[in-house]
Amino acid sequence: MVLLHVKRGDESQFLFNTTVDSPLETVIQRITAIYNGRLKVDRICAEIPELADHGITLPPNMQGLTMEQIVELKLQDEWEDECVPSGGPVFRKDEMGRRNGHAPNDKMREVLMRTVEEAKALISKKQVQANVCFTMEMVKEALDPLRGAVMIVYPMGLPPHDPIRMEFEDQEDLSGTQASLQVITEDECQLWWAGKEMQRGKKLQDYVGKNEKTKLVVKIQKKGQGQPARESLITDEQQKQMMMHNYRRQEELKKLEEADDDSYLDSEWTDRQALRKQFQGLTNIKWGPR
């Protein structure tokens, strides 16, 4: 099996297993699906703590308004009475005005937060260091418990405009958000290795030969962005160690220079004739007009 270390820029994403005779269309399709799946899990994990702290999302026409404005405009959240958390709500006001403030109780909140931590660990980039290869099954393993935890806390479901429900139903609208810049569709995805774009229509062996026991660092990016920057010859950790070594060396040289300083020879206590001069009244002599 060929091991691909997938990166976006200089940042590691995940490890992916394939074979040298795999068509690059298939490799790109699977890598793109895993890459976007991990982003989806990450977005959901970012929203669920807000759900746990402040309840469901308000309708779009009520978000960001003060209570006085809502009353004045005679707006009403029709989902407030339907989407009630198990065990009853606890009011925690959302200062951002995105959610209705009717949050789950502490027990239900713990269910959500514990599931989020487990999902984050599953999609963590630390899996690269642990030499764990990622698959779409692992994305599903992260998504299913998140969906289940939300259903336990909100058995009646979430409003259709809630971003968490929209993510689960693949109806998310990321336009105008920072998250939209991270997503790469299959059509615009490019895979680069050794400064070369790996072209669709070819197989992996056309670039790396027929040796299955190969490990490659490949970079994923959007079409039209050109060739990605080459990898640095040294890692950030190596650079940090080199800087620390140079600093320690400079400190050692500074101490050696101080140890070689012979200015102390001008001090009074080093004068062998000091005692004789004192008895003869030759100390503290000042010259000048009276």
pLDDT in tens, the chain (290 residues): 899 999 998 889 999 999 999 999 999 999 999 999 999 999 999 999 999 999 999 998 888 888 888 888 888 888 888 899 999 999 999 988 899 999 999 999 999 999 999 999 999 989 998 999 999 999 999 999 999 999 999 999 999 999 999 999 999 988 888 888 899 998 999 999 988 889 999 998 998 888 888 899 999 988 877 777 666 656 677 788 888 888 888 888 787 777 665 555 566 655 667 666 766 666 666 555 55
In a domain, 231, yes or no: no
Domain span at residue 121? Answer: 2-222
In a domain, 274, yes or no: yes
Please state the domain count of the chain: 2
Q: Whole-model pTM?
A: 0.76
In a domain, 62, yes or no: yes
Is there a single domain that holds both residue 190 and residue 242? no
Is there a single domain that holds both residue 108 and residue 157? yes
Per the CB < 8 A criterion, the answer to whether 108 and 59 are in contact is no
Is there a single domain that holds both residue 106 and residue 187? yes
Residue type, 87: G
In a domain, 265, yes or no: yes
In a domain, 227, yes or no: no
CA–CA dist 87, 79 (Å, integer):
17
Q: How far is CA 71 from CA 2, 82, 95, in A?
A: 62, 20, 17
Is there a single domain that holds both residue 125 and residue 263? no
In a domain, 69, yes or no: yes
Among residues 124, 109, 107, the alpha carbon closest in space to that of 11 is found at 124
Please give the structure tokens belonging to residue 92.
């925690």
In a domain, 7, yes or no: yes
Is there a single domain that holds both residue 207 and residue 246? no
Is there a single domain that holds both residue 191 and residue 81? yes
Per the CB < 8 A criterion, the answer to whether 184 and 222 are in contact is yes
Is there a single domain that holds both residue 217 and residue 240? no
In a domain, 49, yes or no: yes
Is there a single domain that holds both residue 24 and residue 147? yes
What pLDDT does 123 receive?
92
3-state SS, residue 1: coil
Is there a single domain that holds both residue 89 and residue 199? yes
Is there a single domain that holds both residue 186 and residue 261? no
Is there a single domain that holds both residue 198 and residue 254? no
Q: How far is CA 196 from CA 74, 122, 213, in A?
A: 60, 31, 21
Is there a single domain that holds both residue 18 and residue 107? yes
